[in-house]
Amino acid sequence: MLYQGALFAVEDIRRARKFYEEVLGQKVMFDFGTNLSFERGLTFQEGFCELVGLDPASRVVRSHNTEIYFEEDEIEKIFEKVKAYPGIELLHGLQECPWGQRTFRFYDLDKHIVEIGESMEFVVKRFLRMGLSVEETCARSQFPPEIVRQLSLQLENEKD
């Protein structure tokens, strides 16, 4: 069996498409009118309850049991873009997790939780650029030494 992605119910497919394309930079793979699939597996469905035979009033908004996750290394830039978009509600601003990754979360226009975080490769390289040793970077990022050493070598090669 091949996993194909997750589908999220949306109220207005055009509105969802506009936000995810224009603000989050997602690329549409298939547009079937009321069903929209982005590259990498994210799918939206307008009229989901009616499609599967459920009462539309049973649709849960702000379910707090799932989130859509993205990575972006220019996190301050995307944070400002998201924060300025009409109808977006932040759950929390930029924060640094104990392992050093900076993230923020918000409700999209259909009240799905979305998290945007830096890639851990970016975080590890940031620690190394700050002068942390491989061992200190491992302890801080919770990444194994072999991966941190490999990323350290990449940084050295970038300097040449």
Q: Per residue in 60-104, pLDDT tens?
A: 899 899 999 999 999 999 999 999 999 999 999 999 999 999 999
The one-letter amino acid at 154: Q
Q: Per residue in 4-57, pLDDT tens?
A: 889 999 999 999 999 999 999 999 999 999 999 999 989 999 999 999 999 999
Domain 1-55, what architecture? Roll (3.10)
Quick one: DSSP state of residue 61?
S
Confidence of residue 117 (pLDDT cuts 50, 70, 90): very high
Query: What order of strands is seen across the sheet that includes strand 28-31?
Result: 6-10, 42-46, 35-38, 28-31
Please give the model's pTM, rounded to 2 decimal places.
0.91
In the prediction, which pLDDT does 4 show? 86
Asked whether the beta carbons of 119 and 71 are under 8 A apart, the reply is yes
- In sequence order, what are the residues at sequence separation of 6 or more whose Cβ sits closer than 8 angstroms to the Cβ of residue 7? 43, 44, 45, 48
In the prediction, which pLDDT does 160 show? 67
Q: What residues does each domain of the chain span? A: 1-55, 121-159
